Structure 1
Amino acid sequence: MTTAAVRTVELDQTTGTDRPASGAAGVAEGLPWVEDAGKIAPKDARELSKLFFDRLQVLEEGTHEYQYARNTLIEMNLSLVRFAAGRFRNRGSGEMEDIIQVGTIGLIKAIDRFDLSREVEFTSFAVPYIVGEIKRFFRDTSWAVHVPRRLQELRVEIAKAKEELAGTLDRDPTVKDLATHLKITEEEVLDGLIAANGYAAGSLDSPNEQSDDGPANGKARTVADTMGDTDPAMETVENLHALAPLIQELDDRERQIIEMRFGQEMTQSKIGEALGISQMHVSRLLARTLRKLRTGLCVEA
């Protein structure tokens, strides 16, 4: 054991147990005073952890002795967190410091739930807790767009299936291949693939990798440069499409007035002259017809 990290302990001549040297206030009887738990070698930490877990089970929660034993266990086993966090170093946009903090929460949960009577090594017990906490962190925070948890998990399954099938088929798997492999429907696979688009958001200012055009004026084209915009004429097309069946329901004179007023852009007086009626009569007929069309559009909506 590294002597620099553990202070000398006095042997209780009466009981034969180790007791902390003077100055180690708050240390439970039977436990050594650890100067810097973070410097304990992993092999030594495993042996010391057994001693600390044994004492932790009989100490009263909330006491200084209990806190010392628990905190020392946490510090001694932080190497497990760093080991597990290394697997996620290049995943998503999470900072390594954040990943370690989240993994430490998993370590603390493992310490609070560990029981020596299970005869299982603490490392084997703790790593799943640590990894699970880190995965939960990525699942809940890394998605640029929130999607249901079912689809988040399906995305992971599809990614694994893609990699496995690509090796066996020597090509990219189709939706049907993925559905057969995962024993789900093709619609579910498509849902998972669409949901995967919400994992990371791209910047509109990023270069457009799919564009074959060279730089314009010395500046590369961005994604925003190649994106279309809403055509203002589309609303007119939609309105005309919705109006067509309503206009067909009008009588001949009403359709004629609408055509002359809006199609030929004739004034009301000119329409009156063409139909042999007064301008006032044309105005009333036009207002009634437009009101009928508006009512029909509201009902359709």
Structure 2
Amino acid sequence: MPTQSEALESVHRSLAELPRGRWLLAVSGGRDSMALLDAFATARGHEVAGVASFDHGTGRAATRAVQLVERTAMALQLPVMTGALGAAGAGDEASWREARWRFLRGWAAELRATVVTAHTWDDQVETVVLRLLRDSGPRGLAGMRVASDVLRPFLALPRETVAAFASARGLTWVEDPSNRSMAFARNRVRHELLPALERASPGFARWCWELSGRAAAWRAQVAAWVDATLSPVLVDAERVAARAGPLRTLDPAGGAVIWPELAARVGLVMDRRGIARVTAWAAGAKAGGRVQLSGGEVLCTASTFVLRRLY
């Protein structure tokens, strides 16, 4: 456990290393996100375009957390915006996450700002374990260590460092009871599986972190190859066009690597069935032809393939 002075130095250094920008802070009202709010307000408050908090409708604790964020942001004289799930607690983790990110990205676009989250080293390790359990390939195992439109300044900091920072600063936060519920896969990984694996194989968590770094480096190499070979062009937020010739020659293994990278440019995730279908179709596709995917489609033109996200 770091000392409070060490924690203060680590958190402040993580912010000092950032470039200048306009930041939309995603603050849930929990400990880590309240530490994020405090750190930015102290060190870079003039760059904060807004503080955004989203109520998932899971109970009184979630509502109290949003109210805490509102009070704290206003006391710091920072703009605050809140959102809430339409039907109280409706849906599952995936639908909550989708609604939250729709809210955050909507405000980020409105404010011309970059979303900033308080994810930590431990969050990344948990993500890697979850994806190992789902048989993810390198794309998935990179987790949050990839270039994206979201900034995560605490990602290299252990959760205990952020906790020590919050304690040193005398911060107030709301504990979410759902963080202790074993109904959620991440909580089972956090409270049961990871501690057991660490006891059985000391250093397992560190190995997960290093694995995600190798996967992120691999993804960067794939992205560089796509840029150099396929000359992809973002037509708009839903469509990306790429040179057809190299895509026609991909074998199944190559297609499994390259098509998901293209799809990611427009926020589309391709499953294995869709990847296999489009790889086989592309080899003989004629201009004007198209193939449907889950959530999207690929259109063949005279010289390009246009991948389109439909929703």
> Fold-level match, TM-score > 0.5?
no
TM-score, normalising length: structure 2: 0.20
> Which of the two has higher C-alpha Rg?
1
Query: Larger % of strand: which?
Result: 2
Question: Per chain length, whose mean CA-contact separation is higher, i.e. which structure has more relative contact order (CA < 8 Å, sep 6+)?
Answer: 2
Query: Larger % of helix: which?
Result: 1
